[in-house]
Structures are given as C-alpha cells and as structure tokens.
Amino acid sequence: MGIAELAELIGMPREMAAKLRHEEGFEREKAALLTKEGFEGAANALHEALSPDPDGARILSVMLEAATMSEGKYRELGIPHEIYVDTMKAFSRFTEEYRAGYGSYGFSAWWWAGRQTSLKLFRLGALEYEMCEGEISLHIPTGADLGREAVTSSLCTARAFFRRYFPAYDGVPYVCFSWLLDPVLKEVLPRGSRILAFAERFSVTSRRDGEDYKRFVFGRDDLPLGALPEKTFLQRKLKERLRAGGTMGAAEGILVDFGETLPDCP
C-alpha cells in the first residue's frame, strides 16, 4: 500500500492529498524510524531535515509512509484492519483541525503522530489509548462522541483489546491529562454537559493553569484574548471567564476502577 492509497483509505482531504509527494532519500529510511521506540527523536530530526515545509506536506508524506509500514505490524499481531484505519484517520483529522484554525489545509502534528505509526496509540471507538510506562494514557480526539454510551463502549473495548493484544497492560491504571478534566469547567458548563459527565469518571490528582486548551477550544493557540472566536457556547462562556480575570488550564485524573464504573464490561 502506497501513501496515496492510504490517504484515500483514511479520508484525507483531496486538497491535502494532492500535496503529498515522494521525498527522495527520506521515504523509507527515515520513515522506518517512526515505527519504533524513540520515534520522538526521529520526528524532530526529520522535521529539521525537511524544512522549509510551511504547510507540513513534506513531513506528512514521510509519516504516511511510516503508517503504511505499520500496517504489516498490525497484521502480525492480528489486530483488526478497522482499528488500523480508525487509528490512522488521525492524520486526516489533524489536517482538518489545521484548516479550521488557519483557513487552509496543512499538517503540524508531526511531533505527536509518531504515537500512531509506532503502535503506541490506538483509536478504539470514541477515544484513543496510548501505552505508557505502567499505565494507559487516554486521549480525546477532536469531535469525539462523549455521550455516556459511546464512552462506556470505548472503555470496554479498550480493556478487551489490551488484554488480548498487549497483556502486559491488562489491569494497569488508565489516566488522562486534559483540559476536559479541569474542575473550572463546572463553573462554565451547564448541568447535563457531556464534558462534565466524562470528567466525573476520573479522580483528579493534579491541576495547573495553562493555555493548551486554546488549541482545542478555539482552534488556535497564537491569538490574543480579544481575537479568540465566539462561535460556540463553550467559546463564549470561557472567553467571558477569561475577560473577567478567571483562569483555565488542565488536570490529570485516574479512571475510577472499572468494576465500579463499568460493571457490564466483559
């Protein structure tokens, strides 16, 4: 499978797919490093070597090549093809997020996407799960269904998935570090919010102020307060809070025991 075929399989926007190209000297040698441990260093080196790359198309091309290599590892482990496709759809999502923030298609998530190509992170239903040392880190993709049924289904799928394919991770804690867990949101969102219901599944262990939330809530993290968009209820309410001198950040939490919150999981 080539990168053009993969781009079509994962629904890459046509405008971005048209920018993909073979990077002579980087395609196989450098891409292979993104499928292994230590992908962070490989991604940093690749980003530097491929600059200038203003829209990220060059490094996206190489990362998609790495993703095609990863498909063979999925087959070796017996992981269903649909999980591979769902996981690699992150590349298309990243380009759509870039367009939402900047008005044109691009790719800037090269520092993150090695998790997908190295089989460290998997999309299982609504959520993504990353294997870390002694724990599984849970991530919430943009646009994920945070309804109770969808989240419960994803968590149950994840427990069965790691038990079968990565038994060393069966029974480890599930943690999440996200703006979605910030207790501040209780002052911003109404009762019945799906975000608040999701956060209630976790026992918060730490919290800090920061601006990482801007990229997820407002689509960009480089705009001053006055220029932040006000298209959604959350954007408007959060902007009101910030204008009044309030803060926003992120929190880390541990998923409450499966036996308590998900008694119907197999």
Choose the most confident range, by mean pLDDT, from 29-43, 83-97, 245-259. 83-97
User: In this structure, are 100 and 132 located in the same domain?
Assistant: no
- Confidence at residue 90, expressed as pLDDT on a 0 to 100 scale: 98
What average pLDDT does the segment 133-160 reach? 94
Residues 133, 238, single domain; the answer is: yes
Q: Check whether 165 has a pLDDT greater than 70.
A: yes
89 and 140, same domain (yes or no): no
Indicate whether 172 and 263 sit together in one domain: yes
pTM: 0.92
What is the model's pLDDT at position 262? 66
Q: How many domains does the chain have?
A: 2
164 C-beta neighbours (distance < 10 Å), count: 12
pLDDT the model gives residue 261: 59
CB 118 within 8 A of CB 35: yes
Task: Say if residue 138 is in the same domain as residue 214.
Answer: yes
Domain C-terminal end among 119, 150, 176: 119
Residue 159 predicted with pLDDT over 70 = yes
**How much of the chain is helix, strand and coil, in % rounded to 5?**
50, 15, 35
Mean pLDDT value across the chain: 91
pLDDT digits (tens, 9 = 90+) for 9-56: 999 999 999 999 877 666 577 788 899 888 999 999 989 988 999 999
My answer on whether 90 and 38 are in the same domain is yes
The DSSP symbol for 265 reads -
Of 61, 87, 119, the domain-final residue: 119
Q: What domain range includes position 85?
A: 1-119
Predicted confidence (pLDDT) at residue 205 exceeds the cutoff of 90? yes
Spatial distance between the Cα atoms of 258 and 162, rounded to a whole number of angstroms? 14
Q: What is the pLDDT of residues 94-105, one digit of tens each?
A: 999 999 888 999
Residue range 116-132: average pLDDT? 97
Q: Specify whether 155 is located in the same domain as 95.
A: no
**Domain CATH code at residue 166:** 3.40.630.120
Same domain, 49 and 111: yes
Residues 6 or more apart whose CB falls under 8 angstroms from that of 60 comprise 16, 19, 20, 91, 95, 107, 110
Tell whether 166 and 205 lie within a shared domain.
Answer: yes
Looking at the structure, do residues 140 and 75 belong to the same domain, yes or no?
Answer: no
Which of 119, 135, 160 delimits the end of a domain?
A: 119
pLDDT value for 220: 81
What is the per-residue pLDDT for 210? Answer: 85
Q: Are residues 40 and 151 in the same domain?
A: no
- Please check whether residues 109 and 125 belong to one and the same domain: no
What pLDDT does 255 receive?
A: 94
